[in-house]
A and B are shown apart, each in its own frame.
Chain A
Amino acid sequence: MRWELSAEQQEFQSVLRDWLARRCPSSRVRAWLDSGDPAEFEQDFAAEGWSAVGSPEALGGQGGDLIELALVAEELGRCAAPSSAWLGSVLAVPVLASTPDVAKELLADNVTTVPVVSCDGPPAGHALVESGHGITGSVRAVLGADRATRLLVPVRNSGFVLVDTESAGVVVRRRQPTDRSRSVADVELAAVQGTAVDAEVGVLADMASRAAVLISADALGVAERLLAMTVEYSLQRKQFGVPIGSFQAVKHAAAEMLVTVEAARSIVYMAAASVQAGHPEAALRAAAAKAQVTARVSALADTALTLHGAIGYTWEHDLQLYFKRAKLTERLFGSPSTWNERIATELALVP
């Protein structure tokens, strides 16, 4: 068995990493977060063609699949990029398989389109109802909704409806998560009109698995960054006349972080490949990734903070960006226990 990224994928990853290092350094990330407006980043990212990676060419993408998307998510996590619009959009793409024109507008023309599912739990359910007058209902905490031009609304018993955020009856209320690199909004619809989109049964279940994989990949990127920062700091900071990294307890804690990173990488890419291939255990593996990786990375962030001492507790230090991102990631689209519960229901256990 040989398990590694292809040469092409590795090349892609390193080009993207370099690009992000230049275009998305923490000074700019902080500016976007402070102003609450990451449009500059979103446009730059799309203009460079990155957002089309990992989606089929027939839908306006550049080809590649969930593995490439995971690579993107990992890199975005590594620099705490304001990536909610991107993540919302790539989750919407598979729903638009039957409407390539809409998908093309999304991928090629940067018309941000996000599914109206709550990120409080795994994507599921059709909470909104369509009556003669249009769609009515509300959904809490929709990832990237405040960044979107179009909303892809799941409607009870009738697939999805594509709605313009400018349409009458649409209210999008921005919320401010502690992790300011994510944007989330509540969506309220009152007799809203839109265009029906045919989607296959199971598209939401698939969306759940894809979200789980991509969030976990984001966590992996965050973890790698935290590890790198921590090792660097432990070599630079001196106490008792020596770098703190020479203390064994510090070394061992960093080594444990590395174990988390390596385990996370194996889990994430295994899950990505499984979901992409429609493996019979794809949903289980995606759930395992979401539950295991995000929980461990959240703990890793605690260790990173501990090893930085008081400096990590300051606003000035970049650690806070990644720390908060790791903490939200753990809960985004459902906590580890929610996903563990999904795994448990799939296993032959006592009910």
Chain B
Amino acid sequence: MDFDLTDDQHTIRKAVAELAGKFDDQYWMAKDRDHEFPTEFYDALASGGWLGITTPEEYGGHGFGITEASILIEEVAKSGGGMNAASAIHLSIFGMHPVIVHGSDELKQRTLPRIVNGDLHVCFGVTEPGAGLDTTRITTFAKRDGDHYVVNGRKVWISKAMESEKVLLLTRTTKFEDAAKKTDGLTLFLTDLDRDHVDIRPIPKMGRNAVSSNELFIDDLRIPVEDRVGEEGQGFRYILDGLNPERMLVAAEALGLGRVALDRAVRYGNEREVFGRPIGMNQGLQFPLADSLARLDAAELVLRKATWLYDNGKPCAREANTAKYLCADAGFQAADRALQTHGGMGYSEEYNVARYFREARLLKIAPLSQEMVLNYLGSHVLGLPRSY
């Protein structure tokens, strides 16, 4: 067993920390407050070549694995950018995976180099009002019309849609009730978010406000066949392929957020004096922070194992789910404790931990709820009967 990072991984960690570190608390506080996309940050990562970290070299990327991608996104979150920073680049880092694996060469040539250089913003359109975790229940329908599809339907929560030129859109081409299997009949597109046919409305939400999440009303959106990813009817499988690495990235984001929250709590615990001594001297404060450190470290180990398994082509679903579960939990707990450590100041925006707290809470819900992880572990790993 070898717990060391490779030289490349060390370099990535250091370089990303340095680059992301240029964007200070003030920057993120303002972006979050003003609901403004962090363009400067995004551009800095793009010009540093980081957005193409997992994109194959033939399309201008670096062809690194999910281990490197997770280190990158963890550092980004940990820099204090939190989920605002992570979500700004999340899809560029790994979201194109279904396209890379299943898309036509032409589609890849047309899109991937632009992802790498930062020119092309994409969002991921899966969730619908009537279909949250139960993805196969989506109803947005793509009807074939010559060399086009005509799409109608509604999506919800689509992050970054406001800022995106294209959407990776999951649709049905066979209705649920007509499909032989419920996972059949879904088709994936990478296509333009044509504002004439897609009405995009941001959803007022609790946190991560530098990146919008939106409702999409899709009305006769015409998609050329060339924008289809892979075969018709196979879209659900393509998405599934990317789920484990997606969980790992989310875990890394939660981990980074937990780390920065804990750092801030420690700093404040050392600085703030009440009753004539630093508050961190109280076991009532010190122990929860020490406990969070232990939990973050343990969660990180599972994450490292998961990404290692994936990069080595081994089965990793159990570890990917566990990593997401433990990192989301440890990250939120650390943020909660950081807030508590700051007392009343924790509740103000000034100390940033309130922002981390709001963002960390998200990771227990999306993109996959903690409950669904337990469903997976309960039925697929332990072999208990499926409960739903």
| Interface residues of A, Cβ cutoff 8 Å to B | 247-249, 252
Contact = CB atoms under 8 A, between A and B. Distances in A.
A248 B290 CA distance: 15
Interface stretch (B38-46, B236-244, B280-288, B368-376): B280-288
A247 B284 CA distance: 10
A38 B48 CA distance: 82
Contacts of A249: 283-284, 287
Given A247-B283, A248-B283, A249-B284, 6 more contacts: A248-B282, A248-B284, A249-B283, A249-B287, A252-B283, A252-B284
Contacts of B283: 247-249, 252
Contacts of A247: 283
A247 B286 CA distance: 12
A303 to B, nearest CB: 15
Q: From DSSP, what is the main secondary structure of chain B's interface residues?
A: helix
9 contacts: A247-B283, A248-B282, A248-B283, A248-B284, A249-B283, A249-B284, A249-B287, A252-B283, A252-B284
Nearest to A248: B283
A141 to B, nearest CB: 30
A23 to B, nearest CB: 41
Interface in B2-43: none
Contacts of B287: 249
Contacts of B284: 248-249, 252
Contacts of B282: 248
Interface in B282-328: 282-284, 287
Nearest to B287: A249
A248 B282 CA distance: 7
Contacts of A252: 283-284
B292 to A, nearest CB: 15
Nearest to B285: A248
A249 B284 CA distance: 6
A153 B52 CA distance: 79
A221 to B, nearest CB: 29
A248 B284 CA distance: 6
B56 to A, nearest CB: 50
A248 B283 CA distance: 5
B293 to A, nearest CB: 16
Nearest to A252: B284
Interface in B263-289: 282-284, 287
A248 B275 CA distance: 14
A252 B283 CA distance: 9
B347 to A, nearest CB: 23
A173 B282 CA distance: 55
Nearest to B283: A248
A57 to B, nearest CB: 53
B379 to A, nearest CB: 21
A152 B287 CA distance: 54
A303 B79 CA distance: 39
Contacts of A248: 282-284
A249 B283 CA distance: 6
A252 B282 CA distance: 11
A38 B195 CA distance: 86
Residue of B282, B283, B287 ringed by the most chain A CB atoms within 10 A: B283
A337 B287 CA distance: 31
Nearest to B281: A248
The 5 closest A-B pairs by CB, nearest first: A248-B283, A249-B283, A248-B284, A248-B282, A252-B284
A252 B287 CA distance: 12
B155 to A, nearest CB: 30
B92 to A, nearest CB: 43
A248 B281 CA distance: 10
A206 B328 CA distance: 47
A308 to B, nearest CB: 18
A65 to B, nearest CB: 43
A12 B284 CA distance: 40
